[in-house]
Copies of this chain bind each other. A is one copy, B any other.
């Protein structure tokens, strides 16, 4: 199979840029009509993020999905008046044909896995907007809706399908490609749309899909409308949804907050943003990620509240810092695949961060304050979901407090320095107790204390900055070290971590990070993605005779029939 090897994939190509803006879109048009926005997908077949394939039939690659993610994010900040977002197609016959198969077939395993993770996160963002921001996404499937196309529709609250004797929804991955509908498809079928599992089995093995009334009966779509009335019916429905969604929303002037480019200073070894610095050593496979906390001025803005937040806009520390963190994480994931361990530092003053979080939480009934918190939560979930080892390093000058203490709780370990000459503090804040949930629904603090409810209880509402010993006593620290031991002990821990199998670590972290319950969202990343990743390296899919490799060619796949 003529796919780039794992190693060349990281070195041959330019780094992927995850920032974009409407002036640069190649694949989408967005139209605004009061409270209804219409996102029209019309993929430019030649504007691929990597060479070697064409994006025919509204199929997508990572570049297309980066635009979609940008649209979803900007919608919340730049178009707060929007209540319903209709996703539809500008293609004559196809709503969306899903992930481009030639792209998948020619990608390295690591690229496929990272691509799928990013697209999954974007679809979870769509659901987050629908559920928490009163921006309801609906899919107007005005043509063939196949594979990842239907999975995109599944991420929307409602799905309307054109009833034209031809347009069907389908998940043809299993019968045609020998892989799974891995962008949430299987999980959303059973857990969101609650399609009966035996009918889901028939649906997922029927390449041509299901259309018309049967699609409604099987709960695959919410309604079908004839072609002649499709646009009108969708408009009607969108309007009705928009009216209903307008109730009970948080207050505040709905003045747009524009998101300017982050414009970090980039060198061969670093990306330096205003509040975040990422440095890496690809050779040593080690990166440093530092987030600098808010100042007293940042707190003051939040304490004024309301319009003062809007005046600060994208410069608001909590928005800017977490946008930067998000971008840094994405760069780390895809452009520095050999980095295995990230040392995380949070700098600043603990009390200031706690006060910042208190003031921000007071603005949660302002639409913008709420959006900022929701955004922080999403970025932190991206952090939990990043397949790198994270050690939070609480050495001199750090302040793991409040929203930044989440970086320690989300890390695999938290090392803390206990040195009277360099006192550091650790603190919880109002945001520690529910505002920033993980994918599986728990707070990081509750996940941390899954087995010690008494310790969790003891900390309830306690936002006082703690000395290292006190923090350790409370159970918040993995390893407390004095200044004599710090250097040697952390050096050994880092060396040891870097010596371990990267695959075993990925699997281990994916299990240990999520104790307790699962949600639909966490099932997508665990049950579904783990099985998909397995299939992605099975010869039956990606071997020279595998179904994914041979798709579109005259040869038929040759399977090893053994059931594992």
- A residues near B (Cβ < 8 Å) are 6-7, 10, 109-110, 113-114, 173-175, 177-180, 186-187, 189-191, 193-202, 204-205, 219, 285, 337-340, 387-388, 411-414, 447-452, 475, 478-479, 496-497, 500-518, 523, 526-528, 530-535, 537-538, 540-541, 547, 557, 559-564
Contact = CB atoms under 8 A, between A and B. Distances in A.
A349 B111 CA distance: 55
Q: Which 7 A-B pairs have CB atoms at the shortest separation, nearest pair first?
A: A194-B451, A178-B501, A530-B530, A190-B515, A507-B531, A186-B511, A518-B518
A73 B319 CA distance: 58
A511 B506 CA distance: 21
Nearest to A191: B515
10 contacts: A110-B562, A190-B450, A198-B412, A198-B414, A201-B412, A337-B562, A337-B564, A501-B559, A503-B534, A534-B537
- The oligomer's copy count stands at 2
Contacts of A561: 285, 338, 340, 502
A502 B535 contact: no
Contacts of A449: 196
Nearest to A501: B178
Contact of A560 (B7, B195, B200): B7
A544 to B, nearest CB: 15
A189 B511 CA distance: 10
Contact of A448 (B109, B196, B451): B196
Contacts of A196: 448-452, 475
Contacts of A191: 450, 515-516
A409 to B, nearest CB: 9
Contacts of A534: 503, 507, 530, 533-534, 537
Contacts of A411: 198
Nearest to A388: B563
Contacts of A506: 531, 563-564
Given A197-B450, A337-B564, 6 more contacts: A174-B504, A178-B503, A190-B516, A200-B512, A201-B478, A219-B451
A264 B196 CA distance: 37
